[in-house]
Every structure is written in structure tokens, then in C-alpha cells.
Amino acid sequence: MSRSPIQRIDQTLFNALAGEASQRPRQRCNHNFHKEAEPVQRFLNVLQPGTYVRPHRHLRDQEGAGFECFLVLQGVIGLLIFSPEGEILQTETLSASGPVRGVEVAEGQFHTLVALERDSVIFELKQGPYVPCQDKDFLRSFPQERTPEAELQERSWRDRFLESPAPRAHPGED
């Protein structure tokens, strides 16, 4: 079966994916535009509040290929950047209505995402091909997904953004 010459990124797709994400235990859903073996991964990631993304980084064999680019198309996402010791270095609020709509996270940088609004949709771009056992290097000091500790951790990060939505850098990083 051949692929359509275009793949639409529209509200109909957002609504379908948001409905699917809200029914899944992880409260998120991907929609790939690429095939696993392709050298560039392009996909939508729909996140609902409550989804826990364990802090991780991407490392690739080719230097500079471990970046990850996020662009919020709908809703609001909180991004946290961590030191290798698990200390929060920086936070960013990414919103489809701006002023910051997206970022590129550098190779090897530990990070996580927090859904701050229902049905938040992000477009992600990163180097492929996707190899599940090699894709993420997790920050081990944080709980594994689908544990009570992970739920508490996600809630504390979300509260941090909801209490003060402005981006913050760690002291001395300005």
C-alpha cells in the first residue's frame, strides 16, 4: 500500500488523538509520520495532564544527532531541564498561543515534559532511526512510569508551573 502524497495535520487529527490519549493508561498518544527505520523521526505527541514522562536524554552515535525539537500546536506544555544529578536547571512554558511555542533541546540534555492543559499536542522532530532499547537514557534518580511515586512527581512538576507560569533559570544561569 502506498502512502498518501500528503499527511494532514489538522483539528480532526488532534481531536482523534486526544480522545485516544485520554483513554490510555499513560494519558498520551503518538502519531508517527515516519517509519521506524527512517533517519528522521517526525510525529505528534498528544499529552493529557497526569501523564508522567520520566526525565531522559537522547544520545546518538553521530555527534550532534541527539537533539530533540518540540513545537506546541495545541495547548500548553511545561518543559524541565535537569542536571545529571537531577537538579532542575531551567523551566520553560511552551504554548500554542505563545510567546514561546517551541524549543530545541540539545543532545545529551536531561529533560521532561508536563501537560498543563488537556489535549495538548506537540510536534516532535529528532534523529532516527527509532531503536526502542537505545532511544532514551533515563535519569535514574526519578521514579519509573506507572508508579505512585511517578504520579506524585508529575503532580509536583505541574503544580510548579501552575503556581508560576513564567520561565525560570537556575540562579547564576541568566
Assess whether pLDDT exceeds 50 at residue 173.
no
Domain boundaries, the chain: 29-166
Residues 6+ apart with CB under 8 A from 103: 69, 70, 79, 92, 94
What does the pLDDT look like over 41-97, one tens digit per residue? 999 999 999 999 999 998 877 777 779 999 999 999 999 999 999 999 999 999 999
Retrieve residue 158's grid coordinates. Answer: 505541574
Task: Say which residue the cell 483539528 belongs to.
Answer: 11
Task: Say which residue the cell 544529578 belongs to.
Answer: 85
Q: pLDDT confidence of 139, banded at 50, 70, 90?
A: very high
Q: pLDDT confidence of 16, banded at 50, 70, 90?
A: very high
Measure the CA–CA gap between 121 and 29, rounded to whole angstroms. 10
Measure the CA–CA gap between 172 and 41, rounded to whole angstroms. 35
How much is the mean pLDDT over the chain? 90
R_g (Cα) of the chain, nearest Å: 16
**Residue 171: its pLDDT value, please?**
45
Planar angle of CA 78, 81, 84, nearest 5 degrees:
150
**Residue 63: its pLDDT value, please?**
76
Question: For strand 28-32 and strand 40-47, is the pairing parallel, antiparallel, or unpaired?
Answer: antiparallel
Query: What's the pTM?
Result: 0.88
- Please check whether the domain covering 29-166 is classified as CATH 3.90.550.10: no
Assess whether pLDDT exceeds 50 at residue 174.
no
Pairwise pLDDT comparison (163 vs 75), residue with the higher score? 75
